[in-house]
Structure 1
Amino acid sequence: MLNKLLRAGLLAAAALLAGCVAPPQKNVDYTAFRESKPASILVLPPLNTSVDVAASAAVLAQATLPLAESGYYVIPVGVMDETFKQNGLTSPDDIHELPAAKLREIFGADAALYMTVKQYGASYAVLASTVTVSIDAELLDLRNGAKLWSGTKQVVHANNNSGGGLLGMLVQAMVDQVVNTLSDRSYSVAGMTNNMLLSAGTAGGILYGPRSPRYETQ
């Protein structure tokens, strides 16, 4: 029984570790993106289909930096949030339903980034405690509603519990789960996921914006 448990646990841990990063996306058609030439981006509050209520805020807080570093002017999150509140909009679901033309009229941005947090948080599975963040994103032109780009990224952070025998691995996994929860490692993993998904120059990622020295080099 012990051998079966150990073998099952090792297989589960190996599978989790092997999936640390989702495979690169397939070729992306950038025709509409290049024709649009967006210079400014409005990041909308992400939809959240994960079980963690903190997921949307954590992802939103770390989404603007990679876009700015990629050469775009990004509408400040505080300005976006306060503007929607002044108009009685606090739910990401309601905000995502607004017409593109209305967002363009209010914020003056060329494009809007729509995100959905699919997974966010720590989980415990036999011999491993992991933190998973998975995000889908879509960039739409606010001037005509055209889709310019879409992407998805999943990052799994798993601790290596290979030492100390079965009992040591079980104890370490439980300790890691507590630490992951109390220290909110999900937040830092969300930052990694955002950077991988929203940084220009990555496989299947967005193009460089006009504020980047590498603009129009892709």
Structure 2
Amino acid sequence: MSKLFHRVLMLLGVATLAAGCAAPTKNVDYAAFKESHPRSIVVLPPLNNSPDVKATYALLSQATQPLAESGYYVLPVALVDETFRQNGLTIPGDIHAVAPAKLREIFGADTALYITVTDYGPKYQVVSSTTVVAAEAKLLDLRTGKTLWTGQASAANNQSGNAGGGLIGALIGTAIAHAISSVSDAAYGVAGRTSQQLLSAGTPGGILYGPRSPKYGTD
């Protein structure tokens, strides 16, 4: 075996090793977040860019837990929603357009969380269905107007037809899954997983731990 061939093999090995080690990482600039030291969050009703009208409140109702567990005081979302309604604001787009200073004046929170639902509900194929919920979020400092953090997450739940009955059985199984999903809103549970992934501290690219967490200041 020639020396040239040996060198080619070595170079290929190094290239393969480098490719295997080059795991993608998400670089996030937390400078503004750390400077802000937020303690409280008001969660605004999410914008809904999906065709399912249930998406807004499915995400809103499950946003408090991961934020609270991450160490923040979260204003009760039902109280926040009712406050907006009492002031004639019922559409998320209008609520998101309220000036940060006004939100600060009304709720007294340090920050506001703006969520947008980008996908919500089942995706049907011939013999399977997948329920997908995807969302993106932005945390804004209401005292300065600065964006402290942005993130996105998605979760899915795949349901296949009964392959044991052949193609007909699979089609029937998928139709049944479709009917159950339509009645029970299977996407609600998936929305909970999306909220956990999106709004939990300690995840790659996620929010930082808040002052109520024992891990505060460790990230």
- TM tier, smaller: 0.7 to 0.9
Larger radius of gyration between Structure 1 and Structure 2: 2
State the one-letter code of the partner of 1:62: Q
**After the TM superposition, which residues 57-136 of structure 1 pair with which residues of structure 2 at under 5 Å, given as runs?**
57-136=57-136
Matching residue of 2:175? 174
* Alignment match, 1:20: none
- SS of the equivalent of 2:163 reads coil
Please name the residue that 1:209 is paired with.
Answer: 210
User: Is the 1:130–1:177 contact (alpha carbons within 8 Å) kept by the matching residues of 2?
Assistant: no
Deviation at 1:175, TM superposition (A): 1.4
Q: How far is the alpha carbon of 1:87 from its aligned partner?
A: 1.3
Pair 25,173 (structure 1): closer, same or farther in 2 beyond 3 Å: farther
- 1:30 is matched with 30
Residues 106-140 of structure 1: CA distance to partner in whole angstroms, max 9, x if unpaired? Answer: 10100000001111112311111111101010000
Change in CA separation of 1:39 and 1:78 when aligned onto 2, cut-off 3 Å? same
Equivalent residue of 1:106, what SS? helix
- 5 Å-filtered alignment, 1:36-47, equals 36-47=36-47
Q: Secondary structure at the match of 1:159?
A: strand
The worse-fitting range, judged by mean Cα deviation, of 157-166 and 53-62 is: 157-166
1:100–1:25 CA distance, 2 compared to 1 (3 A):
farther
Instruction: Give aligned pairs, total.
Output: 196
Determine the structure 2 residue equivalent to 1:12: none
Percent sequence identity over aligned pairs: 58
Q: Tell me which amino acid in the other structure corresponds to 2:204.
A: A
Structure 2 unaligned blocks of 5 or more:
1-23
Runs of 5+ consecutive residues of structure 1 not aligned to the other structure? 1-23
Q: Secondary structure at the match of 1:209?
A: coil
Contact 2:132 2:155 in 1 (8 A): yes
Q: Alpha carbon RMSD of aligned pairs, Å?
A: 1.6
Distance 1:152 1:141 in 2: 18
CA–CA distance in structure 2, aligned partners of residues 115 and 50 of structure 1: 13
Alignment TM-score, normalising by the size of structure 2: 0.85
